[in-house]
Amino acid sequence: MTTRDEILRLGEELMRTQGFNAFSYYHLADALKLRPAAVHYHFPTKDALALSIISRSRETFHAFAEHAALEPDLQKRLHQFVRIFSENAATDKICLMGAAGADFYTFSDETRTEVQLLVREIIVWLAALLREGKACGVFTFDGTPRTRAMLIATNMAASLHMARILGKQEFPRIADQLVKDLCIPQKSTAKRKEK
């Protein structure tokens, strides 16, 4: 792993645990056993760092989407999406939507646009999943797939806040109900459970 990547990784972690304005170049440098100037070498300004963190997160999501496309079962695909958030809840992190949304007005226009792209891509992906799932009878919901995608995304994002504030046990409660609301029980192709 290159120094640049380590800075991005740690920067994202700090952004999603303490907030973008709660850590400094010194914190990054110290944790990575570098001088602050080395961090400036890779990211001249803090906003450039924010931009790269968001952009890297977009790439991570693209990779997730590519991997998820291999899963033919749409309910399982939804579960893969939920699992991303569930992992964050376990480590007390909020998602980048939540973190960047809170710090939004401290970013440059360029960085805000990158945040917008990230969120749009997530919503578009989720809406497509919901549309397809509804068409083939695995999901049920009212309203447009896009609005439903917004409802689910907002549930997931703020559930991470709730998990921090009220306790980790809140996340699975919210996530399980969300999935129940959406999924039409499927006839198992495996042996049926005894009644």
Candidates 17-25, 96-104, 151-159, 165-173: pick the segment binding DNA (CB under 7 A): 17-25
With contacts defined by CB under 7 A, name the span among 43-51, 56-64, 98-106, 132-140 that binds DNA. 43-51
Among 124, 178, 179, 183, binds a second copy (CB under 8 A): 178
Q: Would you count residue 37 as binding DNA (CB under 7 A)?
A: yes
Q: How far is the CB of 102 from a second copy (least distance, A)?
A: 4
Q: From CA 141, how far away is CA 168, in angstroms rounded?
A: 27
Cβ proximity to DNA, 33 vs 187, nearer residue: 33
**76 interacts with, out of DNA, a second copy, none, CB within 5 to 8 A per kind:** none
Q: What is the 3-state secondary structure (H, E, C) of the chain?
A: CCHHHHHHHHHHHHHHHCCHHHCCHHHHHHHCCCCHHHHHHHCCCHHHHHHHHHHHHHHHHHHHHHHHCCCCCHHHHHHHHHHHHHHHHHCCCCCHHHHHHHCHHHCCHHHHHHHHHHHHHHHHHHHHHHHHHHHCCCECCCCCHHHHHHHHHHHHHHHHHHHHHHCCCHHHHHHHHHHHHHECCCCCCCCCCCC
Q: Within positions 146 to 165, which residues make up the interface with a second copy, using CB under 8 A?
A: 147-148, 150-151, 153-162, 164-165
Query: Which one among 34, 124, 151, 158 touches DNA, defined by CB under 7 A?
Result: 34
Name the site residues for a second copy (rule: CB under 8 A).
17-22, 92, 94, 97-106, 112, 115-116, 119-120, 123, 142-143, 147-148, 150-151, 153-162, 164-166, 170, 173-174, 177-178, 180-181
